[in-house]
Chain A
Amino acid sequence: MGNFTNLFPAVSSNNVLEMICGIGDGRTVYGVSNNYTMGTASAIELTTSYQDIQGSSIDYILPDGANYVHYEYVVKWSARDYSGICSWKLYFDGNEVNSAFVSNASSYGGSNHGGHLVYVNWVFDLTVSSTDYTDGKILKSDWTGAKNIKVTARDYSSSYDAAAHWNTYRDGTSTGYPFLAVPLLTVTAYS
């Protein structure tokens, strides 16, 4: 005999199918049907080449009935030189989502004090009739199995260095910096 709830499934109370949320400390998060292990972040300096940003990568499997997937990565950024100008790219299955690109900087200054959160944020639309990676529109049949979503970043130039997961100051001093600021990754699937 099957489970009662298989015979008479509960109605969905809202359109959120699944929310995966975790910080970049290597933890495993349990989804409805799959488990996901978050990356482990450490304070890093960016360079003039793009590098994968720790804690942003997830090999995500769509839950049944998903029409939209919201990917949100929140990372602490700090200027290391002047305004710390940097570029942040979002990738889906190795393809850049051009529309999600974001550049970031603080005001220009010789003391490079700038530090705030950077948000890499996109809502993948799965209701489309054909896939357009550049605009984050993915045909459902092109999202079978696990698809990697991740963020990469780089400095504008070596004169405007920036850092990720990085706090320079704490409790009135910078002694012992960098102090780790762990990133937060949230992936939400909607019907």
Chain B
Amino acid sequence: MGNLTDIFPAPASNSVLETLIGVADGRSVTVSSGTYTFGNVTGRQTLSTSYANVTGSSITYTPPAETNFVSYKFSYKSDSHDINYGSSGIHHLDIYLDGTRVGVTQKSVAGNYSGSHSNNHASFTQYMEFVFDLTASSDDIANGKLASWTTPKEIKVMARDYSSPYYRATIHTNIWRDGTGTSGEFQYTHPIIKITSFK
């Protein structure tokens, strides 16, 4: 006689409790922990030398029960902006949790400086990604560690330019399409947020 588990195998299981994913086009998505509404990006965002919320990056999230780790992944399009200095589009980004900077997430992004000219071409997709650790004995938000997370908390990205008036960046930006400049809805991209809660 064979093993009972050969006849009635256990269902597949894994450590993923829930995945929340959506495009920042204003949609609402329902998962086991609730219904979440994504931001609605309707145009490019020009940065400045002061930190500002990155449009489409904000989501107020409550993990499901038994969550030990929460992964936040945000895609956006980086684009150089200045018409001078080869415009490397240097900018800085941080993830924030409920208004507190998660310093360990800091990232500086740029295209390559290519000389003093008007060809500000660098344009590519980037990710801001982090895994919050909910197994800590006390909160240490700067390092993304929490003792618990049972109420809604806002996760977002803030960004600024390195300097002004040179090296500036825009985000969510498409400049070219079909051999010419973009127009209408093709001028900008929609970022995507993916949150995964793990046991």
Report which A residues bind B (CB closer than 8 A). 4-5, 10-11, 13-16, 48, 68, 70, 82-83, 85, 87, 98-109, 114, 116-119, 121-123, 125, 134-136, 154-157, 188, 190
Residues of A close to B113: CB separation below 8 A: 107
Q: Mark B1-38, 1 if CB is under 8 A from A, else 0.
A: 00000011101111011110111010101011000000
Asked if B111 contacts A106 (CB within 8 A), the reply is yes
For B180, give the chain A residue with the smallest CB separation: A156
Known: A108-B114, A109-B112, A123-B23. A10 touches B176 (CB 8 A): no
Residues of B close to A188: CB separation below 8 A: 19, 21
CA of A188 to CA of B29, assembled, Å:
15
Asked if A4 contacts B8 (CB within 8 A), the reply is yes
- Apart from A48-B179, A108-B119, A190-B19, list 16 A-B contacts with CB within 8 A: A10-B12, A13-B17, A15-B19, A15-B31, A15-B32, A16-B16, A82-B119, A103-B174, A106-B121, A108-B114, A108-B115, A108-B121, A121-B75, A121-B192, A122-B23, A154-B179
CA of A182 to CA of B189, assembled, Å:
25
Residues of A close to B12: CB separation below 8 A: 10, 13
Shortest C-beta distance, A50 to chain B (Å), equals: 8
Asked if B124 contacts A118 (CB within 8 A), the reply is yes
Asked if A102 contacts B125 (CB within 8 A), the reply is yes
Asked if A107 contacts B21 (CB within 8 A), the reply is no
For B28, give the chain A residue with the smallest CB separation: A127
Interface residues of B in 107-122 (CB under 8 A from A): 111-115, 117, 119-122
Q: Mark B76-92, 1 if CB is under 8 A from A, else 0.
A: 01001000001010000
Asked if A105 contacts B122 (CB within 8 A), the reply is yes
Name the contact of B123 in the complex, choosing from A5, A13, A101, A105 (C-beta under 8 A): A105
Residues of A close to B88: CB separation below 8 A: 107
The reply to whether the CB of B160 lies closer than 8 angstroms to some CB of chain A is no
The reply to whether the CB of B104 lies closer than 8 angstroms to some CB of chain A is no
Asked if A135 contacts B111 (CB within 8 A), the reply is no
